[in-house]
Amino acid sequence: MNKKVILQDLGQKDYKDTWDYQEFLFQQTLDIKIRNRREELALETPNHFIFVEHPHVYTLGKSGDIQNLLVDEKELDAKGAKFYKINRGGDITYHGPGQIVGYPILDLENFFTDIHKYLRLLEEMVILTLAEYGLKAERSKGETGVWLDVGTPFARKICAMGVRASRWVTMHGFALNINADLGYFDMMIPCGIKDKAVTSLNVELGKLKVDVDEVKEKLLKHFEVLFEAELIKQKALV
């Protein structure tokens, strides 16, 4: 089993361009697995972890309700935002500047074959990272992602998640608010969940700005331990 994970940080990149790149890496791994099965080979499958920051964009998952987007195309244009229907699970999500977006494209057969465990470990990676900033982050029953003050009237989401998997290969991932403009969340019902707020790390810490690179380092540290993986940094290819 190959537990090496190629890490690329794409910086700020258009959502559609990044989605296309994800699909390319995803299909590349699927093709190797299909060939292995057909030809009875044992070729190694790669694993990838992509960091990216997107310009303002709203994405709607396969099971999502378009009614959860509260603005029309004209209003999106006025806010400089785009909208895409995509092939992950989950409902509507916002991505934008000040947010760490992570896309692990893993062959889970290199790690474990359990999608539920995969999502829980991604959540744990974020929970452990936020603990280093003195925050008690938690899961909310029946709601994928990471939250603060669960079970209280002040429950608020700090990290959204939505993935796609085929033949145990994953794509899409998580979006962690670090220095996000929370006003953009008012243009939708986040993840289709009404009456719950959204927050950002800088707000929780009472800071104007949090060091994004520092947060990334903490996330990767916990990812390596939780997945028993070895990260290999590579210059962005796109």
For the residues of 126-186, what is the DSSP string, one character each?
HHHHHHTTT--EEEETTEEEEEESTTSTT-EEEEEEEEEEETTEEEEEEEEESS--GGGGG
Counting the structural domains of the chain, the total is 1
pLDDT confidence bin for 194, thresholds 50/70/90: low
Domain presence at residue 205: yes
Position 191 pLDDT exceeds 70: no
Q: Is 189 annotated as a binding residue?
A: no
191 catalytic? Reply is: yes
Cα of first residue to Cα of last residue in the chain, in angstroms, is 27
Range of the domain at 186: 4-233
pLDDT digits (tens, 9 = 90+) for 129-150: 999 999 999 999 988 899 999 9
Q: Is 92 annotated as a binding residue?
A: yes
Domain presence at residue 238: no
Domain presence at residue 51: yes
Catalytic option among 191, 210, 220, 229: 191
CATH, residue 88: 3.30.930.10
pLDDT confidence bin for 73, thresholds 50/70/90: confident
Domain presence at residue 150: yes
pLDDT confidence bin for 195, thresholds 50/70/90: low
Domain presence at residue 174: yes
Domain presence at residue 84: yes
Tell me the whole-structure pTM to 2 decimals. 0.94
Q: Is 64 annotated as a binding residue?
A: no
